[in-house]
Structure 1
Amino acid sequence: MSLPQMPHTPHVRHTPRPHLLAFLIGSACLIASCGGGGGETAPAEQLTANELAVVIANGDALSESIGLAYQRARGVPAANVIRIDLPTGQAAISASDFSAVKAQLDARLPGHVQATLLTWTRPSRVQGSCAMGITSAFAFGYDTAYCGGCRATQASPYYASGSGRPWRDHQIRPSMMLGAATLSAAQALIDRGVAADGSRPRGSGYLVRTSDVTRSVRWEDFQALAAAGSGLPGVPMVYLDNSAGTGSNLVTDRSDVLFYFTGLATVPGIATNRYLPGAAADHLTSHAGRLPDANGQMPVTAWLDAGATASYGTVEEPCNHTGKFPQASVLVHRYTAGDTLLEAYWKSVARPGQGLFVGEPLARPWPAR
């Protein structure tokens, strides 16, 4: 088992931070209300239920129940509900077996479908010579260019883009796993996503630089976002700096959490907060997406259990390349500009091959602007 801690210097490799430039350009665009990640115009098209496929594992009663619950709640067309032959009793699927599953799915997907929702929690990764998160593998296909430990993996053309049609524009279908272990948990998560739609919530984003130096490498992005703000009234971005270790690494007992981004192997106290419908939260660590046990770290599903609507984590040791994790500036900008939660989360990760996206994909609190 890997240690519950990412490698320390000199093994840690830091990638450049082009997202900061993209964020500053995007911030200027926010002020002008022109939208668009990296300075692009906000897309006239956002993902809808008609463009989402719900993928169910044949013979898995829970997957079937969750998939049908989601279809009903979101009005997904029956033609977009696809059943595939997938073994759900194991944490990983082999690359060769996955290739057959993906080919089966691709052959059945209607041509207008732009993204997919997975309705199981195992398998969460595709294992060949390296591991890809299964949501990324369904988007790109299993390819060792997208995984392999600490090296700089293949970049996503969808990163920070203004595209509202990823299949049409980039020939990828971004995927999200609902991430619920029971039907009741799935229904609660679906309800949060539906409640988020058009709600224009007034809440806070918490951006935490913790005393864990290795896992807090996103702090520059956090600081820039807090300085620029969300661009929306009533949605402040709060930067908390505990790099000196003299205060607290945690956000607890808050009633207005819209965003919570941090860097720790395990984040205590998250259930003491109230997360508004549509809230996004994640923690930078090595194995949060490696379900069900995250190799002893805190799994991404803990955020969903606490009340968040989506999260992200990696399934193999990625080291702390900032590009392999969500950039808060991009996510907040794309989300508040009108993207769905699936679109905003996917657009915030430059190199998502080792990652797993979980949550309710169609949550959309803000209209396009």
Structure 2
Amino acid sequence: MRPAIILSALLAAASAAHAATPLQPSQLGLVINDDEPNSVELGEYYRAARGIPEANIVHVRIPNKPRKLGAEQFARLKAEIDEKLGPQVQAVLMVWTAPYAVECNGITAAYTLGFDPTQCANTCAPGKQTAYFNSDTGLPWTERRMRLSMLLPTESVEEGKALIDRGKAAGFRVPAAGAYYLVTSEQARNSRAEFFPKSGAIPQRKLTIHTLREDVLEGKRDVMIYQTGKAKVDKLETLQFLPGALADHLTSLGGDLLGNGQMSSLRWLEAGATASYGTVSEPCNFWQKFPSPAVLLRHYLGGASAIEAYWRSVAWPAQGVFIGEPLAAPYKR
């Protein structure tokens, strides 16, 4: 995608994006950690809310909620999950917050693409581009032997159920919405700003794009997309995120979900977003290691689900972790 995408090109791309039905409940595997009560409760809630077939549900045991797994431990977990999934399953939702890393890899990247030990030799080195980046692949497992994956956080059962409800509500009607892109004073975190679309309206989707030179967004009540570059994003409590909203910040350790350093991507979900993304190890500020704004918007407006749009938007996702409700699709056809 070229810098400063103009609206007519973006809309044409969205209209031309993969027009098939977005990911369906019958194509989603649900992985529950029986050693975590919140995972069991939220897994059942999600199964009922989305009508996930019993054949797609996998039970595993991961004691003590480790934040990071070793490569061998993860390989055993992945093999256990994979052997229980049928060929119809195109994506997987892991119902837990932790573990969220496999050494330096995000657990969702390690599951979908395989663990990448070379990235851990130098986490600031360029990554490997996934064939799914900006693609119109409709059946990633069938066509590319990739099962997309996402985490459904379980730190709070109440917040987890609210997240599931927001995802399910997305798509019942198309709201008047805003997509907000902030060029901030933190220059090192503006590496993807050249890919922000220009401000203006996309009336066919009832969406208005706002590309701003601001450090913070405050008081907006129509947020469908919010992408920025900050170590900590303030004023989230003043915003109203619409069902299906996607939000993320370019910073080093947003994917360190339970860490005490930079802002965790969990804060976006707690504020009302439906899905987010962050990196679990120092990636340096390659834009390719973060969601590309125009690519994400193209696929989401084209009708893709949250998990499909987010996965298509990250060129080098090895260090990243995708979190939220995967089936949200506010612009589905």
| C-alpha separation in 2, matches of 1:112 and 1:146 | 31
Paired residue for 1:133?
A: 106
Distance 1:219 1:152, change over 3 A: same
Contact 2:200–2:210 (8 Å) recurs in 1: no
Q: TM-score, normalised to structure 2's length?
A: 0.95
| C-alpha separation in 2, matches of 1:302 and 1:32 | 31
Q: Which amino acid aligns with 1:93?
A: L
Paired residue for 2:306?
A: 341
Give, in angstroms, the shift of residue 23 of structure 1.
6.2
Paired residue for 1:237?
A: 209
Distance 1:307 1:79, change over 3 A: same
Measured against aligned partners, the alpha-carbon deviations of 1:203-236 in whole angstroms (never above 9, x if no partner) come to 10110000000001111111xx125755634211
1:49-198 alignment runs, 5 A limit:
49-127=25-103, 131-147=104-120, 148-198=122-172
Give, in angstroms, the shift of residue 179 of structure 1.
2.0
Give, in angstroms, the shift of residue 100 of structure 1.
0.6
Q: How many percent of aligned residue pairs carry the same amino acid?
A: 40
Q: Which amino acid aligns with 1:31?
A: A
Q: Which amino acid aligns with 2:131?
A: P
User: SS where residue 73 of structure 2 aligns?
Assistant: helix
Give, in angstroms, the shift of residue 180 of structure 1.
3.5
Contact 2:21–2:332 (8 Å) recurs in 1: no
| C-alpha separation in 2, matches of 1:22 and 1:180 | 38
| C-alpha separation in 2, matches of 1:292 and 1:85 | 20
Give, in angstroms, the shift of residue 367 of structure 1.
2.4
Instruction: Give the counterpart of 2:297 among 318, 325, 332.
Output: 332
User: SS where residue 299 of structure 1 aligns?
Assistant: coil
Measured against aligned partners, the alpha-carbon deviations of 1:118-139 in whole angstroms (never above 9, x if no partner) come to 1111111001xxx110111110
Instruction: Give the counterpart of 2:2 among 3, 12, 20.
Output: 20
Between 57-66 and 142-151, report the one with greater CA deviation.
142-151
User: SS where residue 239 of structure 1 aligns?
Assistant: strand
| C-alpha separation in 1, matches of 2:105 and 2:266 | 18
Aligned pair count reads 332
Paired residue for 2:16?
A: 35
Contact 2:244–2:274 (8 Å) recurs in 1: yes
Give, in angstroms, the shift of residue 34 of structure 1.
3.9
Paired residue for 1:5?
A: none
User: SS where residue 255 of structure 1 aligns?
Assistant: coil
User: SS where residue 256 of structure 2 aligns?
Assistant: coil
Contact 1:180–1:301 (8 Å) recurs in 2: no
Query: In angstroms, what is the RMSD of aligned CA positions?
Result: 1.9
| C-alpha separation in 1, matches of 2:147 and 2:8 | 27
Measured against aligned partners, the alpha-carbon deviations of 1:302-327 in whole angstroms (never above 9, x if no partner) come to 00000000110000000000000001
Contact 1:253–1:273 (8 Å) recurs in 2: yes
| C-alpha separation in 1, matches of 2:279 and 2:203 | 29
Distance 1:196 1:136, change over 3 A: same
Give, in angstroms, the shift of residue 45 of structure 1.
3.9
Instruction: Give the counterpart of 1:213 among 182, 187, 192.
Output: 187
| C-alpha separation in 1, matches of 2:171 and 2:160 | 17
Distance 1:98 1:231, change over 3 A: farther
| C-alpha separation in 2, matches of 1:27 and 1:336 | 13
Measured against aligned partners, the alpha-carbon deviations of 1:256-289 in whole angstroms (never above 9, x if no partner) come to 1111100000001111100000001110000010
Q: TM-score, normalised to structure 1's length?
A: 0.86
**Structure 1 gap ranges (5+):** 1-18, 37-41, 243-248
Measured against aligned partners, the alpha-carbon deviations of 1:135-185 in whole angstroms (never above 9, x if no partner) come to 111101212245541111111111101111111111111101112411111
**Structure 2 gap ranges (5+):** none
| C-alpha separation in 2, matches of 1:353 and 1:227 | 31
Instruction: Give the counterpart of 2:257 among 275, 291, 302.
Output: 291
Instruction: Give the counterpart of 1:251 among 213, 217, 232.
Output: 217
Measured against aligned partners, the alpha-carbon deviations of 1:36-95 in whole angstroms (never above 9, x if no partner) come to 2xxxxx242421000000101132211111111100000000111111232342211111
